[in-house]
Amino acid sequence: MSETSTPTTVDDATTPIVSPSTVKKSKYRKRGQVAKWLSIVWLVLLVFTAVGASWLPYVKHSCDQFESKADCRTHIDPNPLLSERPPAWATFSETSRPIVRDAPARVGLMGTDTNGFDIFSRAMFGARNSLLIGAMSIVFGILIGGTLGLIAGYVGRKTDRVIDTIMNIFLSFPALLLAIFIVGFFGSSGADEAKSRSIGPIILALVILSIPPIARLVRANTMVFAQREFVLAARSLGAKNGRIIVREILPNVMPAMVTFAITGMAILIVAEGALAYLGLSVSAPTPTWGSMIFSGQRKLETAWWISIMPAIVLFLTVLAINLLGDVLSEKFRIKEAIG
């Protein structure tokens, strides 16, 4: 009667739970591992070069081509000597290249664009902006959308109905149209810098695009967890609503939110590209991947690399982010299944 802890319970708890994933390491699983590590390596390299773009030797190389050594991002004078040179590894015959004396036939890793900028270094400077736009948008999207979703899901009733209706209104617009509208509306408000659009309106547009889906996801998850008994248990121990939302429900909603956010970031990077392609992203000298692709669209037949090279970088990045999102969701799912 007094000694109630029998071996059965002890054994039960100390035996480690073997998840099915560790038992069966199939070929598929290994391939998934390779893809995961490739994605991580790609993203780490990308972030590293994006952050250090101004200092890394090859990346800043494009600036060295100019006598003034002024910030190459603001330099828009065409350099005819280097303009539209194909990448160094391109060995096909070049018939349509304008013949410029003393001009190198092939330049750099990715060639040069119409202004004579090295596309690789611009793509790395562009990574800075594209990743920053994607990350900032999703962070704000999560902060606002997540909060709205938690409140709507937990409080319910009228609050839920109001928030849900607003989200539905936003969701009923075609996403790109909404983004164009927001950028057009807020981007041109500053009279003195009407021509040079900054990063702000783009982020604002993307944040507004990302809020409704995040809010809905979080709301649905919150509703599920708010019904669980541990919430009632916390309440029966005297926890306040704010505490229950933040300490009990939020950690449970987090996995779904993070997974969604990572995939969402990929979508937002593409969305920025779409905006840029329509000429609605950050103004000319500041590169983003989208605006780089846009700048080469009329030369696809003669100088394909101007569009294709940044497109490949964009593609690989989005792919890597998506794969990473898959890995994360897999990880969370296993844990959820045992719990």
Partner 1 sequence: MKLQAESRRESGVLLEVDDLHTYFSTPIGLVKSVDHVSFTLDRGRRLGIVGESGCGKTVLSRSIMGLLPRRNVVRGGSVLYEGRELTTMPLKERRKIWGAEMAMIFQDPMTSLNPVIRIGKQLIEPLQIHLGHDRQTASDTALQLLTDVGIPEPEKRMRQYAHELSGGMRQRVMIAMALTCGPSVLFADEPTTALDVTVQAQILDLIERQRRDRNMSVVLVTHDLGVVAGHTDEIIVMYAGQIVERALTPVLFSSMKMPYTEALFRSIPKLSDPSHTRLVTIGGRPPNLIAPPEGCRFSPRCPYATDVCTTTPPELVEATPGHWYACHHPVGSERWQEVNVRMNTGHSVEAS
The residue ranges that bind partner 1 (CB under 8 A) are: 1-6, 8-10, 12-14, 17, 157, 228-230, 232-240, 247-248, 251-252, 254-255, 335-336, 338-339
In the bound complex, what is the minimum distance in angstroms from residue 225's beta carbon to partner 1?
Answer: 9
Structural Rg of the chain based on CA atoms: 26
How far apart CA 327 and CA 39 sit, in angstroms, is 10
Cβ count within 10 A of residue 144: 16
CB of 304 to partner 1, least distance (A): 49
Closest to partner 1 by CB, 234 vs 274, is 234
Instruction: Kindly state the smallest distance separating residue 5's Cβ from partner 1, in Å.
Output: 4
Shortest CB 163 distance to partner 1, Å: 18
CA distances to 90, 123, 131 from 290, rounded to whole Å, are: 23, 10, 12
Centre a 10 Å sphere on the Cβ of residue 131 and count the other Cβ atoms it contains. Answer: 21
Q: Are the beta carbons of 291 and 309 closer than 8 angstroms?
A: no
Nearer to partner 1, 181 or 230 (CB): 230
State the minimum distance, in angstroms, from the CB of residue 235 to partner 1.
6
Kindly tell me which of 10 and 169 has the beta carbon lying closer to partner 1.
10
What is the DSSP secondary structure assignment for residue 194, as one 8-state letter?
Answer: S
Q: Which is nearer to partner 1, 136 or 218 (CB)?
A: 218
* Cβ 265 vs Cβ 134: under 8 Å: yes
Q: Which is closer to partner 1, CB of 247 or CB of 331?
A: 247
> Which residue, 260, 278, 261, 288, is CA-closest to 176?
278
Residue nearer to partner 1 on the CB measure, 13 or 177: 13
Shortest Cβ 221–partner 1 spacing (Å):
12
CA–CA gap between residue 328 and residue 330 (Å, rounded): 5
Rounded-to-integer distance, Cα 183 and Cα 179, Å: 6
